[in-house]
Amino acid sequence: METRKSTRLAEKYKHLQINQQNAYAKDQNKLDPLEGINNYLHPLIFQHLNMSEILCLSTVSRQWYYEIGMSEQCMNRMLLKINVIPPHGIFSFKKLPSIKTKRQIYSKLTTVRKTTMRRYKYISINTNNVENISYQAIKLVMALAPSVVQMTLLNLKVPPTRKLNSVKFPSLTKLIINNADPYVQRILFQGMTDLIELRIYEHFDPDIQPILACLKNNYKLKELYIWNTGIGDLFSTYEPDSFQFQLEDFSTGSEGIISNEAETNLMKFLDSQKDTLTTFFLRVGMSILRNSVVFGLFTLPNLVTLHINSYILLHRISIETNSSVKAFNFGWHIASKEATMGVLDAIPEVEVITIEHMTKSFLRHAVKNLKKLWRIRYTKGKACQKCFNAILATRKDYYPKIQLIRMD
């Protein structure tokens, strides 16, 4: 009798426990704010929320998380950012008293999820050359490849022993890559064919072929930045008609020495882009730019912004006039003062000038002869403001009014 009684009590208790669990589940469902809201109302709700509110809303329920992750409207405003900060020199033990070792700090700061439900379109990753985290980050990037539109990759280092397979980036239009391991670049570049903007910085691999292959495969490119990437090697191997794109903005430079052959090929490349090129930035750190290159730049018919930072032994005063240039940056050093004035005379329609070292003769010539000039920015120069005021006092009828701005 006692055994039967205890069995009945156990069954009754189990049945009661099941009923309590079902009631709790129903109560939990009632708490879901999505219940009773039609799907077509979700975008109307999202459009009135800022990004912080949307991120908080995604933690309310699994259904909200899924809806936001699949929402084009929400993901267009969401950036996936992974920034690995080294433990030394930034975080102290006083700020994190519960953490005792640097290794623990490191692991706590550098957890990267390899999978996600969200279709991120914008990604920014800086792993500070931590191999394990770089590998995890690249795997995550590859998982998001179908949806990513813009991507910034900084300080990535993955040894070739960690196998990575190339994937397609069908929606990627903008890539910024800085100080990335050559192995990472080779793998990623293979799957990119629809880039509109490409910026490559600090490419230390002597093999320039991955960059050349990437340029040849992306015929839609409009903006190209290549800095410290062995520019001499890049243009030493340049072949006419090897690129199908037509650039609007081109920026390049190197701290190393550029050969005469590379300069000649650079001018050939610029000539192939002259119909669309409106912005050009050139910095040459350890070479003296040949005069023929300088003269060639002023022949680009549609150039609006020109910036040159280099040493120039320019003695010829007469330079071909270019009326399309509206903004000019004098980040260079010209041997002859007369040649400097000749450069100013070659850009009669210029509106904004930026110069590193201002002289009174330069200021006087610019203000008196450039009729559309309305702003001059400079970094160094003595008594420039006093000289400028004296010049303007003699040009009261001058229009537009010129601004002289010293940049700190």
| pLDDT at position 324 over 90 | yes
| pLDDT value for 115 | 46
pLDDT, tens digit, for every residue of 359-371? 888 888 888 888 8
Query: Would the pTM count as exceeding 0.95?
Result: no
| pLDDT value for 349 | 94
**What is the average pLDDT score of the chain?**
77
- DSSP 8-class letter at 332: S
Element (H, E) at 392: helix 384-393
| pLDDT at position 171 over 90 | yes
- DSSP 8-class letter at 40: G
Joined tokens for residue 345: 């005379």
| pLDDT value for 358 | 81
For residues 217 and 71, the model is more confident at 217
| pLDDT value for 322 | 92
| pLDDT value for 92 | 28
| pLDDT at position 244 over 80 | yes
Site of tokens 């809201």: 37
Highest mean pLDDT among 110-119, 192-201, 339-348: 192-201
Averaged pLDDT for residues 53-60: 78
Residues 120/146, Cβ–Cβ less than 8 Å: no
| pLDDT value for 262 | 81
| pLDDT value for 9 | 56
| pLDDT value for 392 | 73
| pLDDT at position 220 over 70 | yes
pLDDT, tens digit, for every residue of 371-384? 899 999 988 877 67
What residue type is 65 in one-letter code? Y
pLDDT, tens digit, for every residue of 5-44? 556 655 655 555 555 555 544 555 555 666 667 777 777 8
Task: pLDDT band for 90, please (50, 70, 90 cuts).
Answer: very low
Burial label, 44 (beta-carbon count in 10 A; 0-12, 13-18, 19+): exposed
In Å, how far are 47, 257, 301 from 296, measured between CA atoms?
51, 20, 11
| pLDDT value for 193 | 93
pLDDT, tens digit, for every residue of 96-139? 233 232 333 333 333 444 445 567 888 888 888 888 888 888 98
In Å, how far are 73, 114, 127, 323 from 136, measured between CA atoms?
28, 6, 10, 52
Query: d(Cα 205, Cα 363) in Å, to the nearest integer?
Result: 44
Largest CA distance in the chain: 120
CA angle 221, 224, 229 (to 5 degrees): 130
Site of tokens 């190339």: 166
CATH 3.40.50 fits 78-221, yes or no: no
Burial label, 109 (beta-carbon count in 10 A; 0-12, 13-18, 19+): middle
| pLDDT at position 48 over 60 | yes
Q: Which of 338, 336, 330, 402 is nearest to 372 (CA)?
A: 402
φ and ψ at residue 323, rounded to 5 degrees: -85, -5
Q: Which of 207, 217, 161 is nearest to 185 (CA)?
A: 207
φ and ψ at residue 279, rounded to 5 degrees: -135, 130
Query: d(Cα 348, Cα 371) in Å, to the nearest integer?
Result: 7
Percent of the chain with pLDDT over 90: 21
Query: What's 244-283 look like in SS3?
Result: CCCCCEEEEEECCCCCHHHHHHHHHHHHHCCCCCCEEEEE
Q: Which of 308, 215, 302, 301 is nearest to 263 (CA)?
A: 308
| pLDDT value for 35 | 64
Domain residue spans of the chain: 28-77, 78-221
What residue type is 36 in one-letter code? G
